[in-house]
Structure 1
């Protein structure tokens, strides 16, 4: 008897698909949320792709290819080897990576900074066993905290900077107190979470060779791709990049995290659909966010439900206090993982099981502390 029905489809296909989705908690939540939002406020199927920020998705795909190429070249293992033999303590290594992630995020955006630092941390873990879950979590917190400082650090800052019309320097000066306070808090947390114990270098026995051609091409391509993506040419840049690697080193393209791209596409559809719900706009209008304190609180709280970039866009319609909104959505990047897309990237890049629970055990208390600091400064 055939296992296919009259339509040529396995009878248990929906069950098989759901089981595959259920293995990925974020994907499962997004699918359920999509169904709920579509029931509450139906959208034509053909209009859904228009909700996706394809510039971001295409840029993410290019960064996944390039970081995978650098990883396969062996450069990260070589760099990790050099690093662990210069910094002998777990705490010192954690503080260095937190500082590096925060610094890079001020100029490269928080997402790009993650693609530089998290793979390095994973390579370090292969040489000297580390509490890698905690390390990835503080790196995620670091890029969110560091990116607060400049308009280039994250998308919500770029949007609010353009909307406010203030000078670049004035924006940095306004956000400096919050960035400095949260970085100080994060450094204290890092000191508490990591011991000063020496690193176990027994696993660093073999010689670490680097494919210099692959590494050199990938590093140059990384710089060119980021520049083209920043100029809003991510599509052509990705097409050229993918074609080149498919012809030259196809394993680079085949080994990237394709599921992360699907998660981002679904996230844009769900979050922007939710942000457009009349109930959300009516609730904000009823509450009123005319004072800096209310604008700050609204940004921090709303980010927990629809992420900080959509929250900034929605709230800008109700308040012109760009500083309070920037404080709120910046703090909103902590807490629930969905508060910032950088959180999701960090957790996915880690590849560790049980990361979601561990992430929230640290990020939610950090959110409450950050809200108290932001409230005092705003």
Structure 2
């Protein structure tokens, strides 16, 4: 899982540098006539962009654009709601694919779920989330917008490299390629072309995940704790409630790491 996340972070660094998501967002804004349509455009981009670019990258890319737009809309009162919906949309869209966020990747790897089954499980959540978040945009204030936001041109060569890297990572995550060899190949390519992409990897996040893996490994060696957790979250309802409540305290990824070894309730 850690190696997969590391490889995906390198590929996402390419996408972020290419300016593709920023370009797509601004193109959507160009035809927006009012503040509500602008927010809806940003929400749509955030939602579908998180499918492949992950929820974190979608948020980190779109929010600065949104804040720049707000400078030209001083009378717009729905700015906080708009920002919140962009973040919510990224997390709702990020539930769909196994590689759209770290907790999906952990579940996909831990339980060896096949790709079609995983998407079949997450499809209702994704569809319901899309309907709800788009319905919520109807509460955004509708004011006239006549601003033009300039965006950087898309570097097509970087987009191509990023796309190839993403395809390789997806194939490796599906088990068709060896994940270690695939990531080693990507790292070697980056070292030969532009080693600075390695500086954009969130190593602290990887270290956090590694620490939780160590913590879980230690906990599973405690027979009393292992027995209690396995018995407590053996049912679907308890696994759901444990994940729901624990994620409010530990956040979603650490909760997934902590809970997954103690239950076989994948779905």
Task: Report if TM-score (shorter chain) is over 0.5.
Answer: yes
Following superposition, the deviation at residue 288 of structure 1 comes to: 0.8
Q: Does 1:285 align with 2:208?
A: no
Match of 2:205 in 1: 264
* Equivalent position SS for 1:217: helix
Following superposition, the deviation at residue 218 of structure 1 comes to: 1.0
CA change 1:164–1:302 in 2 (3 A) is same
Q: Is the 8 A contact 1:138 1:186 kept in 2?
A: yes
**2:144 counterpart (178, 198, 204):** 198
Following superposition, the deviation at residue 295 of structure 1 comes to: 0.8
* Equivalent position SS for 2:262: coil
CA change 1:315–1:290 in 2 (3 A) is same
State which structure, 1 or 2, has the greater radius of gyration over its C-alpha atoms: 1
* Equivalent position SS for 1:316: helix
**1:217 counterpart (157, 177, 184):** 157
Following superposition, the deviation at residue 188 of structure 1 comes to: 3.6
How does the TM-score come out when normalised to structure 1?
A: 0.53
The separation in 2 between residues aligned to 1:281 and 1:133, in whole angstroms, is 47
Aligned residues: 250
CA change 1:157–1:83 in 2 (3 A) is closer
* Equivalent position SS for 1:88: coil
Q: CA offsets per residue over residues 71-109 of structure 1, 9 Å max, x none?
A: 4xxx77665554332012222222223223323434x26
CA change 1:146–1:175 in 2 (3 A) is same
* Aligned Cα root-mean-square deviation (Å): 3.8
Match of 1:84 in 2: 29
Match of 1:298 in 2: 242
Q: Is the 8 A contact 2:2 2:210 kept in 1?
A: no
Following superposition, the deviation at residue 220 of structure 1 comes to: 0.7
Q: Is the 8 A contact 1:59 1:238 kept in 2?
A: no
Q: Does 1:236 align with 2:171?
A: no
The separation in 2 between residues aligned to 1:179 and 1:281, in whole angstroms, is 38
Match of 1:100 in 2: 45
The separation in 2 between residues aligned to 1:65 and 1:137, in whole angstroms, is 26
The separation in 2 between residues aligned to 1:149 and 1:276, in whole angstroms, is 28
Match of 1:187 in 2: 134
Following superposition, the deviation at residue 226 of structure 1 comes to: 1.3
Q: CA offsets per residue over residues 268-304 of structure 1, 9 Å max, x none?
A: 2333344345379818725611222111011123334
Q: Is the 8 A contact 1:61 1:261 kept in 2?
A: no
**2:85 counterpart (113, 129, 138):** 138
Q: Is the 8 A contact 1:67 1:116 kept in 2?
A: no
Match of 1:9 in 2: none
Unaligned runs of 5+ in 2: 173-178
The separation in 2 between residues aligned to 1:173 and 1:306, in whole angstroms, is 27
The separation in 1 between residues aligned to 2:255 and 2:9, in whole angstroms, is 21
Unaligned runs of 5+ in 1: 1-51, 247-252, 324-378
CA change 1:161–1:199 in 2 (3 A) is same
Q: Is the 8 A contact 2:98 2:118 kept in 1?
A: yes
Q: CA offsets per residue over residues 275-334 of structure 1, 9 Å max, x none?
A: 3453798187256112221110111233345543453354333332211xxxxxxxxxxx
CA change 1:136–1:65 in 2 (3 A) is farther
